[in-house]
Amino acid sequence: MAEFLRSTPAQVVIWTAVLAAISVVAVYLVLAFRGLQRDDGKSASDLLTEFRDLHDSGGLSQAEFKKIKSVLGEKLQDELGSGSSDDSG
């Protein structure tokens, strides 16, 4: 049996199985890590509302809020555009 395990075809099968197992573990770890890195699911509209409240309470200057509003406005347009053009094209 030990002689068979030292043969080239057996070694190919063994190392292929090891490589496949390592690949599966790597994919699992990457997906788990990406899951941890995701945002909390807030939309651009929700974020804009929170930043507006922060601005109204004095936590953000007018210039800071204007910059945030321009960035989130673009993202909001993207969200609205992607939601309505799913079946176009």
Each residue's pLDDT tens digit, 16-58: 999 999 999 999 999 888 876 665 677 888 888 999 999 999 9
Mean pLDDT of 1-16: 90
The answer on pLDDT for 2 being more than 90 is no
Q: What is the mean pLDDT of the chain?
A: 84
At 71, give phi and psi (nearest 5°): -65, -50
Question: How much of the chain exceeds pLDDT 70, in percent?
Answer: 85
SS3 track for 9-60: HHHHHHHHHHHHHHHHHHHHHHHHHHHHHCCCCCCHHHHHHHHHHHHHCCCC
CA distance 79 to 74: 9
